[in-house]
Every structure is written in C-alpha cells, then in structure tokens.
Amino acid sequence: MNNFVYHNPTKLVFGKGQIAQLAKLIPAGKKIMITFGGGSVRRNGIYDQVVKALEGRDWVEFWGIEPNPSVETVREAIALGREHGSEFLLAVGGGSVIDGTKLIAAGLLYDGDPWDIVLKGQADKTVPLGTVLTMSATGSEMNSGSVISRQETKEKYAFYGDYPVFSILDPETLYSLPQRQIACGLSDTFVHVLEQYMTTPGQSRLMDRWAEGILHTVIEIAPKIWENQHDYAVMSEYMLGATLALNDMIRMGVTQDWATHMIGHELTALHGLTHGATLAIVINGTLRVLREQKRGKLLQYGERIWGIADGSEEERIDRTLEATKKFFRSLGLSTRLSEEGIGETTIAEIERRFNASGVKYGEAQNVDGAAARRILEACM
Ligand code: NZQ
Ligand code: ZN
C-alpha cells in the first residue's frame, strides 16, 4: 500500500425524517444562504421540510443552480451571499447544487473571480457548508471535490476545497427522481468505483473487496429500483452506496485512474450530455484501449463481479467487457458515441484540448490527447 492520509470530517445524518435535524446541525445565530436547483424540491415537499425545520432562523434563498453548475450562476449567488452577509451555506439538491455551492463557499471569501479558484484547482478558505441530498450519484455530499462549467467557453473542470460539515441523506427524497436520473446516478456510482479499482491488482485486498462490494450492490439493486422506486430498503442502499463510492474510503493507499471522467467532462462541456451518461459510453472505450495495462484487474473483476472464470484470458476479458456494456444498457443508457450523435468533430476537439494543456491522465499517466482519441474511437 502507498502512504496516505484519510480525513473525512463530514457528519452523515441518514434516514427518514432527518431533514428535521437541520436546526440542530446549523449553529444558532448564523446567517444562512440556502441554495437550490430548478425547483424539483418545491414539487416533492423537500422545500417545505427545510423551511419547517429552520423556522425562525435568518436565511436567504438562491434558486437556479443548474445541472452541470456554471460559474456564471455562481457569481450571482456570491453577490447575493455578500449582500446578505451569509455565514453558513445549505445546499439542497443533487451533485450540481452541492458543487455550485462549494464554489460559492470559496468565492465568498475570495476577492477575485471564482473561475480563478476552479483553474487553480484548490480553494484556500471556505464558508462552512451543509447539504440536504436529493439525488444520489456524485458523492459530493461527503467529499471535497466540485466540478464547475463555464458556459462562455464550454469548459468543465474540477477543484478541491473543504468537505461539507454535514449531509442529510433521507432515502425518501429519491422517490421523485426521474428514471433517467437514477440510471445516470447508478452509472456514476459504478464508474466511480471502477476509476479507483480498475488499475493493477495486488495493491490492497481491503480496497478491492470494498470496491467489489459496492459494484455487487449496484448490480443487485438496479432491477429492484425499476420494480419499485419507493422501496425504502433498496433506495437506502442506493443512497449510501453512491456516497461510499466517492468519499475517499475505497482509495486508501491505491492508485487511481479517472481518465474516463476527464474525457466524460469534455463530452458534457461540449454537448451538455448528462455526466453519468457520458461515463456509460466512455468507460467501454477506456477498458478496451487499456486492456493490456488493466489485464490483471479485468480478470479479477470478471471473475468476482460477473462470475467469468472459464476459458482463455482473452475470452474471459472479452466476456467481461461485454457484461459491463450490457449492464449499462440494462440501465437504459447509450454505450456508443454515435447513439448520441457525437462523432469526429468532437473527438478532434477533445484531442486538441488534451494536447494543448499537456495532460496525462490515468494510473499510468498515459492518457494524453492521442490516447483520448483512441478511447473515443473505440466507443464510436
Ligand atoms: O434542479 P432540480 O429542479 O432540483 O432538478 C434536478 C436536476 O434537473 C433533478 N433532481 C435532483 N433531485 C431530484 C430531482 N428531480 C426529482 N426529484 C429529486 N429528488 O435531477 C437533475 C440532475 O441533478 P444533478 O444535481 O445535476 O445530478 P448529479 O447529482 O448527478 O450531479 C451531476 C454533477 O456533479 C458532477 C457532475 O460532473 C455534474 O456536474 N460531479 C461531481 C462530483 C463531485 N463533486 O465529487 C464527482 C462526479 O464524478 C461528478 O463529476
Ligand atoms: Zn462521476
């Protein structure tokens, strides 16, 4: 195992009715800014629960943090927070609302433009932030990352800051999610695990088994969710599974990939394709192109997750790649770029961007512009 520091300070408050805990979780006397997305919380009753829990407290509301939150919107929120003197932020929504609010938290304590923070990749100081999660996918509720888009230039990058102080996870909030959002959430969860697992074998039994536990759980619950999205026990596993997939827990002391995510962010930036939907496509290309490099782990994953233990190594890997693709298709997601009308123009632009910034992603630092092209071509 490699050296590592693990320090995740987010308090998770899990379960039915837990939004009522807000008054205790947010320190008394603080001026609060509550941030929301486009209005789903008004329709499903979550807004009313938040308002009831915070009765008598001093807050302002900022509405309209969009999916793939933009720096343009965040600038408006920072202006409102400054005017109000907000000292505590409460994000009520999915990964986008939480990520946008993470940049608001940093921007409130920064004199320049918040896009500087995104480009730097790191926030120095932040206003404390709590969350009420309404969409499970990103793990943003229990990690320090945030991914922000700039509409003007069609760019999308991650930066890192502080973890949320607390996050409330009530599985009942997920009952109102559209099926496609759940499909994208399961895809995101699955690929988060693969980014931290599908590298080289023999680094840590513990990390492997934790990662495989989450993969098995996602595969088992997906059909149960389609049967009944109001099954509290199943939605609980989905909610906690998504959080555990990206809260630093399964990557202690092991190498990580993340090339699929970096290519996926470009597809979202250029085409607006939902995050989980980009991953369901790109991961198939990544696994195919990096098949040799990931051979040992592909064999382990094939055997332990899909029960593929017979035949030559080549046959086993072929069947493993096929099973993985079939899983994403079972979620109702595309697995090829052409299905989304994306082709050579986009591939050329992503290759150009990777070359221009000189990036090298992946556990072997070998996913550059040319490799990104090969990966994207493999998912045409
Ligand atoms: O805006 P509203 O009206 O609330 O509707 C949202 C939005 O349209 C809707 N929704 C959320 N909760 C709902 C609901 N609809 C009905 N019932 C509910 N309970 O769902 C739509 C999508 O929400 P969004 O927050 O965009 O989804 P998600 O949680 O998947 O977040 C995606 C963003 O997170 C980034 C992605 O790149 C993308 O920008 N990521 C953040 C990460 C992180 N911070 O660690 C890591 C991830 O890899 C990812 O990159
Ligand atoms: Zn993701």
Query: What is the atom index within ligand 1 of the atom nearest the CA of 181?
Result: 20
Residue-level pLDDT at 276: 98
Phi first, then psi, for residue 307 (nearest 5°) are 70, 25
Question: Which residues crowd ion ligand 2, with CB under 5 Å?
Answer: 188
| pLDDT tens digits, one per residue of 8-28 | 999 999 999 999 999 999 999
Give 97 Cα–ligand 1 centroid separation in angstroms: 7
| pLDDT tens digits, one per residue of 52-107 | 999 999 999 999 999 999 999 999 999 999 999 999 999 999 999 999 999 999 99
Residue-level pLDDT at 204: 98
Nearest to 172 by CA among 12, 11, 14, 10: 14
Residue-level pLDDT at 71: 98
Query: What is the atom index within ligand 1 of the atom nearest the CA of 135?
Result: 12
Q: How far is CA 26 from CA 57, 129, 138, in A?
A: 10, 9, 23
Query: 345: which residues sit within 8 A by CB, 6+ positions away?
Result: none
> Is the minimum distance from the CB of 139 to ligand 1 under 6 angstroms?
yes
> Is the minimum distance from the CB of 99 to ligand 1 under 6 angstroms?
yes
Q: What is the mean pLDDT of residues 25-48?
A: 98
Say which residue the tokens 């596993």 belong to: 237
Per-residue confidence band for 178, with pLDDT thresholds at 50, 70 and 90: very high
Q: What is the mean pLDDT of residues 132-161?
A: 98
Query: For residue 178, what are its two tokens?
Result: 């559209």
Determine the Cα–Cα distance for residues 98 and 128; give it in Å rounded to an integer: 12
> Is the minimum distance from the CB of 73 to ligand 1 under 6 angstroms?
no
> Is the minimum distance from the CB of 140 to ligand 1 under 6 angstroms?
yes
Average pLDDT, the chain: 98
Per-residue confidence band for 112, with pLDDT thresholds at 50, 70 and 90: very high
| pLDDT tens digits, one per residue of 332-368 | 999 999 999 999 999 999 999 999 999 999 999 999 9
Residue-level pLDDT at 130: 98
Query: 344: which residues sit within 8 A by CB, 6+ positions away?
Result: none
Q: How far is CA 5 from CA 2, 27, 75, 145, 158, in A?
A: 10, 28, 33, 16, 21
Q: What is the mean pLDDT of residues 120-127?
A: 98
Per-residue confidence band for 312, with pLDDT thresholds at 50, 70 and 90: very high
Asked if 186 and 331 count as a contact pair (C-beta separation under 8 A), the reply is: yes
Q: What is the mean pLDDT of residues 289-307?
A: 98
Give 180 Cα–ligand 1 centroid separation in angstroms: 12
